[in-house]
Amino acid sequence: MAFPPRYLTSFGPRQTPHFFTDVLIIGGGIAGLRAALAIPASMNVLVVTKDSIKESNSAYAQGGIAGVMSPEDRFENHIEDTLKAGAGLCDREVVELVVREAPEQIGDLIRFGTQFDKENGQLALTQEGGHSHRRIVHALGDATGHEVMRAIIERARQASHIRLWDRTCLIDLLTYEGQCVGALVHRPRFGKMSIWAKQTILASGGVGVVYRETTNPPIATGDGMAAAYRAGAQLRDMEFMQFHPTVLYVAGSSRYLISEAVRGEGAYLRDVNGRRFMLPPNPTPADLRPDPGRAELQPRDIVAQAIFQCMEETQHPNVYLDLSHLPPERVHERFPGISKVCRTFGLDITRDPIPVRPGAHYMVGGVTVDSRGHSTLPGLWAAGEVSSSGLHGANRLASNSLVEGLVFGAACGRGAAEAARAMPDRFVVPPLEYHVPPCESAERVDVTDMTNSLRSLMVRKMGIVRERKSLLEAERSVRFWCRYALGREFRNRAGWELQNLLLIARLMIQAALERTESRGTHFRSDFPERRESEWGQRHLDCPAQLPD
């Protein structure tokens, strides 16, 4: 059996209903809807989302959107902060493009109806880890994503040329003669459907669910990345999974993100003994704090690794965020959502330390795209977390994700519209080589158990700190599960999600084994230093095929 199989399920021209559109957008988060709004009204646009249109990683964003909005700030400052956080792997031209377009995109959001927080009639700005200035715009205190998506969804619904299909699960991208020509999807009322598009934009988000502890909602199972890989698009830098340093940790409860902005407003990180471990003189053997002057406001990779080491040293399952020295009224006003969640556990965030630990948050790698958002597969574009644009390098700077979705979403919309406009209308189903998978029954696979086992394995063997022995053990386990699960045909979303998670886990582990250095979010305890002479600015492209 070739790994991975080209398609996850059997289908054919007489087996599925067909739908034709100019541009197909897969994903209804900020990148997907910004792409849709950049496409002229003369073209037909179909946006499909896996769950409700309101359910996306974008909607859960707390902190805000980074942009140079203050006279004390400069584009050069934001550029240098991004490059420093990216640990030598950022594409400087892309960084400059996004940073310089950020204020205009924030202005567009305001024009769409987003109500950002203000102080004295001006946009309220906060600071987050890795930023040298206060440049983060936010809304509803700590619910920026909710407000931004409310406005952008409403705008998309008002556009007569944009059609929104929710609860539509991507199964695979369709290709013909080396080009992407649409997607095979599943809708509950219709079953499998073939959507034929002149151009396709992938904005399906990340893969945080591959880890047991994650800030991501259940929809983040890497479907877009996996489908793009099976279709022949290049993926890269899959070793770089960013762990958010501060996720609420209460044993037995679901995890909840505690925004970077909490530290930006002055919160301290303390260990179980009350020590502020991010301050000197508390050096660590791995020298995880190269800029101790910033203390808690260092980039996420450094803070997450320092928390992990602190937990190891104290043998305590978490550390603590302390806001008790800040004005209580300001804390409740700035973080109403976090305050409300913590109250359900009997915690008053103005007085009680918040138990936190790192959790999988953002996939830095993904589908390789150029500065316009075009992938290596003709007819396929990608924007947002599903893509690897060169903006984030080896570690994403806080609050640069939503602005990347805006800038690249708009670029993909413009580029896809231009390409689609040059193509003739053809409502004909191409003669694809349709797929009939092996007839092994999927009924014997306990999807829930295998999914949970995979997620636990990734935390233990492919977490914040990695080393060769554990990675090889992880590779053996995942390869075995792939042989067992990928040769079967599932007929539901949970089965397809498991197959996608297994594929992405293989790619992540392979890349982590290959990169024999520590850089950004990728920390190898057996190679704890950055090795510029060997790796420099080298990206890791995923192989076209993995061994069975």
Token pair for 33? 């809807």
Residue 437, preceding peptide bond in cis (omega within 30° of 0): no
Mean pLDDT over 442-468 rounds to: 93
Q: What is the DSSP string of 169-210?
A: EEEEEEEETTEEEEEEEEETTTEEEEEEEEEEEE-----GGG
Q: What gap in Å lies between CA 30 and CA 151, rounded to an integer?
A: 10
Rounded-to-5 percentages of helix, strand, coil across the chain: 35, 20, 45
Q: What CATH number labels 447-524? A: 1.20.58.100
CA distance 432 to 424: 19
pLDDT at position 275, please?
94
DSSP letter (8 states) at residue 451: H
Can you give the pLDDT at residue 437? Answer: 57
Tokens representing 498?
């498991």
DSSP state of 542: P
pLDDT given for residue 286 in this prediction: 42
Each residue's pLDDT tens digit, 282-324 = 544 444 444 556 788 888 888 999 999 999 999 999 999 999 9
CA distances from 261 to 76, 335, 513 (A): 22, 9, 33
Catalytic residue from among 34, 236, 300, 455 = 300
State pLDDT tens for residues 509-546: 999 999 999 999 999 999 999 999 999 889 999 998 88
Residue type, 82: T
**What is residue 440's predicted lDDT score, i.e. its pLDDT?**
62
Query: Residue 9 gets which letter from DSSP?
Result: S
Asked if residues 432 and 174 have their Cβ atoms less than 8 Å apart, the reply is yes
Among 200, 173, 199, 170, smallest CA distance to 186 is for 170
The whole-angstrom separation of Cα 503 and Cα 542 is 12
The answer to whether the predicted template modeling score (pTM) of the entire model surpasses 0.95 is no
Q: Which CATH class is domain 244-359?
A: alpha beta
CATH number assigned to the domain with residue range 18-240+364-421, chosen from the 4 options 3.50.50.60, 1.10.150.120, 3.40.640.10, 3.40.50.300: 3.50.50.60
The rounded mean pLDDT for the chain is 92
Distance CA 286, CA 272 (A): 21
- Looking at residue 461, its pLDDT comes to 96
| Distances from the Cα of 473 to the Cα of 107, 211, 407, 476, angstroms | 49, 16, 40, 5
pLDDT of residue 287: 42
- pLDDT at residue 292, rounded to an integer: 54
Residue ranges per structural domain of the chain: 18-240+364-421, 244-359, 447-524
Q: What is the pLDDT of residue 285?
A: 40
Q: Which H helix or E strand runs over 514? A: helix 493-514
DSSP 295: G
| Proportion of the chain above pLDDT 90, given as a percent | 77
Strands 380-382 and 191-202: parallel
Known catalytic residue: 300?
A: yes
